[in-house]
Amino acid sequence: MASALAASTAVCSSPVASASASSARRLRAVPPSRGIRYQALRADSGFAGNRRGGGRGASVVCAVQGQDTSIQVPEVTKSTWQSLVMESELPVLVEYWATWCGPCKMIDPVVGKLSKEYEGKLKCYKLNTDENPDIASQYGVRSIPTMMIFKNGEKKDAVIGAVPESTLIASIEKFVER
């Protein structure tokens, strides 16, 4: 019965969850899902605990297959800065970020969403401050994430930190043609 249940439902599981008959009974209470398919991924994050995947230190990460919910923001570098940002006809929002920055990872989907919403009115790029420190220091970036708006080749506004979407919208609306 447990194998028939596993074939008909799409749930994330770990060795701990399927170890006992009582957990199999609990799984039967979960209604089958037909909309989203999940694939269990092993979390290789190096946290303390049992590294073999069992026990209290084990964790399971689930990923949605076939759906990319985030919009990728194109990168700008020192070599493309002049043409993409300074010579742009539209206002440009530049997200200063780094791969190790947690708040940068939080704000990135928001910037991606705004780039889609303001398509044709605003261009959005992200600049890795570790790979392009000279541009970051030229514009006085001391904390990341920092979002700057440029219009006609000039820095117009800056927002520092992982702020709510409404804060970015208020800043963008000052410089976007209606």
CB neighbour class for 90 (10 Å; exposed up to 12, middle 13-18, buried from 19): middle
Q: Which of 12, 62, 101, 124 is catalytic?
A: 101
Report the distance separating Cα 92 and Cα 121, nearest Å: 9
Q: Which of 12, 62, 104, 124 is catalytic?
A: 104
Beta-bridge partner residues of 60: 42
Contacts (Cβ under 8 Å, ≥6 apart) of 85: 76, 92, 94, 125, 150, 153
Report the distance separating Cα 10 and Cα 5, nearest Å: 9
104 is annotated as an active-site residue: yes
The catalytic residue positions are 101, 104
